[in-house]
Chain A
């Protein structure tokens, strides 16, 4: 479980988050959406432990991991983070990028897990390429694979479908839902598009100017009509 308690974050003059409180349960998908600049990335960065809160606290699995004074290191939180920009290491091949999180495990196991992950995301023909030789969508999938391969019990996704082709989108959304259902992963999914958030069919949260403006209950009429059939067709897949 991830519990966020009275969290706020300032960058000098800019208030990126204002008094956010949330509880995210294992096996659930929470979709956070809101306009660009509303603080979504900042919230994920705080949960991941990449940044300290200005006030408030974060608990993961019952343990206090973030306060303004002390942070548990990101790699000790059991959190996977798919970054908004792919952030692939340019000096490593696709294989090395994906295998990085598994360093320390027996080699054959690393090989098998990486191969399986790449196949699942349809990028198994790219193993020897360098990030500079990938298209935007391919890089996103590698970045997704790099995080998913470690089987994190909690998964933070920051606009993971940017640059990804429509056909691939529903497959990836499917995969993410499966993680929550089968593995009990706590999934936090950030997007600036309401339609995309609605497709996931989990909990919906709306952020504006660093604050949560509504959660769970979407005010009537907010989901554009054209999106509803999409959602249905996705369900039917």
Chain B
């Protein structure tokens, strides 16, 4: 009995912490609403004219990015899953580890490539191509978010019971089994992935603004710059919040418990004889993915003047690198229990809808608004007492509020698909409580927790828009430094620092890879460890035994 109440206490504490740390900044903004003249409310809340147009276009861009990334990502994932054994399995690993570059890296690399191309054209006496606009934003955002798409697609495909695929393969060729069995079974998770990518694209304005595209998310920020009224910015962001909640609900509506039991005898759920039209599409998708990796790598390498310059710029950024790493590690560590608590809440019977809103609404709060909200909380009498404002804790709080909901979403998707009888079996044998939770529940939930940790870690490393506002002078993160250099146009320093940032983002993937190699050197390859892990953060799949 005592252990039961321990669990309840832990849940309550988690709910409070989530409310304070994740919802707090947004809630604190609500207080600033009182300063807005009631007459302007409807004008700000309901987009019309140019703003409505902008909202439509931003939504369309995000939808196109989500579709493009998820379609390409899942086709590429199909091909990657067939690579088993030997050098190809290692290659698949490298693709997953190398994939997650920060958005600026992609933007920079493709602009650089376009510049080279134009120089070539001009030498031939031709006009250069114009490298900006919606199409370019779409392409760059899509490649940037592709690793998340591939990772979630791998999770989706791995969650399909191999026995069901084999039953199909007894009757028909690979393509038909894919369209009739594998895709329908994976669709709920694929849709959930598309939802995540949609939201990430919708609230991002860094990439569009680099290519001279005005999106709705930028509008809210620009308004704040012009009027300096947080309440106004919050009202302007409401349509984004609504869109996000709607998309999240739509994309998760079909996510039903899949009664999944981790399998110790993994087989690739995909036919080896994939030679039909799907096989060709998958090949094309893999080429896009390869381009998305190769262009940033090559452009970074070519933009650096010399090795010594690289070393100099890296060592000059030493303090920022250490600071960024610490912030990301701490944020990811703190966000895991919060996200876990929220995910559990969203899966239980009571207050489910409240938790759903608590996870989805913050997804769409633009970074600057979170920064403003945080300042509102901690730059107050109480905050000064705790001496948090102006300390490194602010950077952690900013990323915590921004990215914990993403971790929670990943956890919801992975936990929901576990076979409940695995946990129930333990319930029957022992009273629910801390010990059962540690012995049975936690190991089953570990893959999802790891995935959430990795995702938050990577996102935090690249966080910019909230940190920009809350970081005290002298506490710059690496992305902040890159952002500043970008404005000076010091391209080789930017390239060097971006390379460092990229390496940091890749670190969890490398660590996961090495850990996996150490732990599973032998034939046993627990598939459940792979399931639920995003790319690069993650052993995408582990069919490469033997």
Chain A residues within 8 Å of B, Cβ to Cβ = 11-13, 48, 50-51, 71, 73-75, 79-81, 83, 85, 87-91, 100-101, 103, 146-147, 150
Knowing A12-B546, A91-B184, the reply to whether A75 touches B170 (Cβ < 8 A) is yes
- Further contacts, 16 of them, CB under 8 A, given A83-B167, A100-B171, A100-B180: A11-B523, A11-B546, A12-B523, A12-B524, A12-B546, A74-B169, A75-B171, A80-B170, A81-B167, A87-B166, A91-B184, A91-B185, A100-B168, A101-B170, A103-B172, A147-B170
B162-215, CB < 8 A from A: 163-164, 166-174, 176, 180-181, 184-185
Q: Which of A13, A50, A146 contacts B169 (CB 8 A)?
A: A50
Residue of A nearest to B187 (CB): A91
Cα A125 to Cα B162 in complex, Å, equals 29
12 CB < 8 A contacts A-B = A12-B545, A12-B546, A50-B166, A51-B267, A73-B273, A81-B170, A85-B163, A87-B163, A88-B164, A89-B164, A89-B167, A100-B171
Q: Is B227 an interface residue (CB 8 A)?
A: no
Which residues of chain A come closer than 8 Å to B523, judged between CB atoms?
A: 11-13
Chain B's nearest CB lies how many Å from the CB of A138? 17
Residue of A nearest to B176 (CB): A103
Cα A150 to Cα B171 in complex, Å, equals 9
Q: Which of A74, A81, A87 contacts B164 (CB 8 A)?
A: A87
Cα A81 to Cα B546 in complex, Å, equals 26
Which residues of chain A come closer than 8 Å to B272, judged between CB atoms?
A: 71
Which residues of chain B come closer than 8 Å to A88, judged between CB atoms?
A: 164, 167
- Please tell me if the beta carbons of B163 and A83 are within 8 angstroms of each other in the complex: yes
Which residues of chain B come closer than 8 Å to A87, judged between CB atoms?
A: 161, 163-164, 166-167
Cα A163 to Cα B546 in complex, Å, equals 35
Residue of A nearest to B171 (CB): A101
Residue of B nearest to A156 (CB): B170
Q: How large is the interface on B (under 10, 10 to 19, 20 to 34, 35 or more residues)?
A: 20 to 34
Chain B's nearest CB lies how many Å from the CB of A40? 15
Which residues of chain B come closer than 8 Å to A75, judged between CB atoms?
A: 169-173
- Please tell me if the beta carbons of B184 and A79 are within 8 angstroms of each other in the complex: no
Chain B's nearest CB lies how many Å from the CB of A24? 18
Which residues of chain A come closer than 8 Å to B271, judged between CB atoms?
A: 73
Cα A80 to Cα B181 in complex, Å, equals 18
Chain B residues within 8 Å of A, Cβ to Cβ = 161, 163-164, 166-174, 176, 180-181, 184-185, 265, 267, 271-273, 522-524, 545-546
Cα A13 to Cα B170 in complex, Å, equals 28
Which has the most chain B C-beta neighbours within 10 Å: A73, A80, A88, A147? A73
Chain A's nearest CB lies how many Å from the CB of B184? 5
Which has the most chain B C-beta neighbours within 10 Å: A12, A74, A103? A74
Cα A146 to Cα B164 in complex, Å, equals 13
- Please tell me if the beta carbons of A12 and B522 are within 8 angstroms of each other in the complex: yes
Chain B's nearest CB lies how many Å from the CB of A158? 11
Residue of B nearest to A45 (CB): B166
Which has the most chain A C-beta neighbours within 10 Å: B161, B172, B176, B545? B172
Which residues of chain B come closer than 8 Å to A89, judged between CB atoms?
A: 164, 167-168, 181, 185
Knowing A11-B523, A89-B181, A90-B185, the reply to whether A83 touches B171 (Cβ < 8 A) is no
Cα A50 to Cα B173 in complex, Å, equals 13
Chain B's nearest CB lies how many Å from the CB of A73? 5
Cα A75 to Cα B166 in complex, Å, equals 10
Residue of B nearest to A97 (CB): B167
Knowing A73-B271, A91-B184, A91-B185, the reply to whether A79 touches B170 (Cβ < 8 A) is yes
Residue of A nearest to B273 (CB): A73
Pairs of residues from A and B, 10 with the lowest C-beta to C-beta distance, nearest first? A12-B523, A101-B171, A87-B167, A87-B163, A74-B169, A73-B273, A91-B184, A81-B170, A74-B170, A50-B166
Which residues of chain A come closer than 8 Å to B184, judged between CB atoms?
A: 91
Cα A115 to Cα B169 in complex, Å, equals 23
Which has the most chain A C-beta neighbours within 10 Å: B169, B181, B267, B522? B169
Cα A147 to Cα B545 in complex, Å, equals 31
Cα A71 to Cα B169 in complex, Å, equals 13
Which residues of chain A come closer than 8 Å to B546, judged between CB atoms?
A: 11-12
Chain B's nearest CB lies how many Å from the CB of A52? 9
Cα A71 to Cα B271 in complex, Å, equals 12
Residue of B nearest to A52 (CB): B272
Residue of B nearest to A50 (CB): B166
Chain B's nearest CB lies how many Å from the CB of A148? 12
Cα A83 to Cα B163 in complex, Å, equals 8
Chain A's nearest CB lies how many Å from the CB of B318? 46
Residue of A nearest to B523 (CB): A12
Chain B's nearest CB lies how many Å from the CB of A132? 8
Residue of A nearest to B181 (CB): A89
Knowing A89-B181, A91-B184, the reply to whether A73 touches B163 (Cβ < 8 A) is no
- Please tell me if the beta carbons of B169 and A73 are within 8 angstroms of each other in the complex: yes
Which residues of chain B come closer than 8 Å to A83, judged between CB atoms?
A: 163, 166-167
Cα A101 to Cα B164 in complex, Å, equals 13
Chain B's nearest CB lies how many Å from the CB of A136? 14
Cα A87 to Cα B164 in complex, Å, equals 5
Cα A88 to Cα B181 in complex, Å, equals 10
Cα A91 to Cα B524 in complex, Å, equals 31
Cα A150 to Cα B170 in complex, Å, equals 11
Cα A91 to Cα B185 in complex, Å, equals 7
Residue of A nearest to B272 (CB): A71
